[in-house]
Amino acid sequence: MRHQFADLRPDRRLDLGGGGGGLSDRRAPGADRRRSADVPVVLLLLGARQCSGASARADFGSSSTLALHRIAPENSSQAGTALDAEEFYDHPDPGCLYVENMNRWVSRTLPGSNNTLAALAPDGFTHSHLPRVPNRYSVRTPVGRAREAASFMPDACADLALQDGQFCFDYQLDLVRDINGAGLIYFAAYFAIFDTALLQWWRSLGRADAQFSRRRVVQQRVGFFGNADPGAKCVITVQNWVNPTGGQEVADMAMHDASTGRLLAVTAIELGGR
């Protein structure tokens, strides 16, 4: 079983069509055009556009693996080229979509319960052959801060001001939509759950559903810090950070187990001008 933390940062949003720690990131880099036989490159269709996908893995210790992914339009200079950390972190290409994901192997400590998971790599899991990621790219610091503060947002932000009031949304985990074959909250379900809360918050501000459908996500980070049993009730809080001089805003959200108060996940969703 894997427990993940994700950070999605799309500097450019492509039309994609129809708890441990980690990071997943949509954004836009640009780098060299080296090719490597050990970096998988695939072709896929996103809507009507043919794209090229490339991935790279890195050693992140005995129980985790860091994976970097890039999706580039087939006519892009990045199509078919290898992906490395320097490109991903330092030279994003505005025409590409990037995803950073850290996986952590976990196991139940109590049979039938998702409330107390422990890091435990499976037999035969090897990682020493993978390249190490320089410390300056490590996700451990932002993950640790987000877990401690139940937020990705700093106490103060130069360009954003925290708005008064906090929106709360109750959510019950759905056995059909939210749970994977291992009986855990599926990591992708956290995104859908937060989007459900985001829509309710959006409506509470008197904004139209049509506006929500057209929203532009500039960046999204999601940290998965815990799990819960099917049917568990959760509370999701939303705070809004706004740039007073522009249309930028960030929905700062945290998801807790309603019965225990355990932190399950946090996200920061940066939205462009509406």
CATH number at residue 104: 3.10.129.10
Does 253 lie in the same domain as 204? yes
In a domain, 135, yes or no: no
- Confidence band, pLDDT 50/70/90 cuts, at residue 274: low
Parent domain of 46: 2-122
Provide the pLDDT for residue 156: 64
Most confident by average pLDDT, 11-25, 29-43, 98-112, 160-174: 160-174
- Over 90: is that where the pLDDT of 134 sits? no
Does 183 lie in the same domain as 65? no
Does 168 lie in the same domain as 198? yes
Does 156 lie in the same domain as 43? no
Q: Which of 13-17, 115-119, 205-209, 212-216 has the lowest mean pLDDT?
A: 13-17
Does 148 lie in the same domain as 267? yes
Mean pLDDT of 131-151: 86
In a domain, 127, yes or no: no
CA distance 193 to 228: 13
Bigger pLDDT: 55 or 35? 55
How many structural domains comprise the chain?
2
CB 66 within 8 A of CB 7: no
Name 251's bridge partners. 240, 269
Most confident by average pLDDT, 63-77, 132-146, 210-224: 210-224
Does 159 lie in the same domain as 112? no
In a domain, 105, yes or no: yes
- Over 90: is that where the pLDDT of 196 sits? yes
Bigger pLDDT: 124 or 240? 240
- Over 80: is that where the pLDDT of 47 sits? no
Q: Is the pTM of this model over 0.85?
A: no
Buried/exposed 191-220: b ≥16 CB within 10 Å, e otherwise: bebbbebbbbbbeeeeeeeeeeeebebbbb
Please, which residues have CB within 8 angstroms of residue 46's CB and are 6 or more apart in sequence? 14, 15, 16, 17, 71
In a domain, 111, yes or no: yes
* pLDDT, averaged across the chain: 79
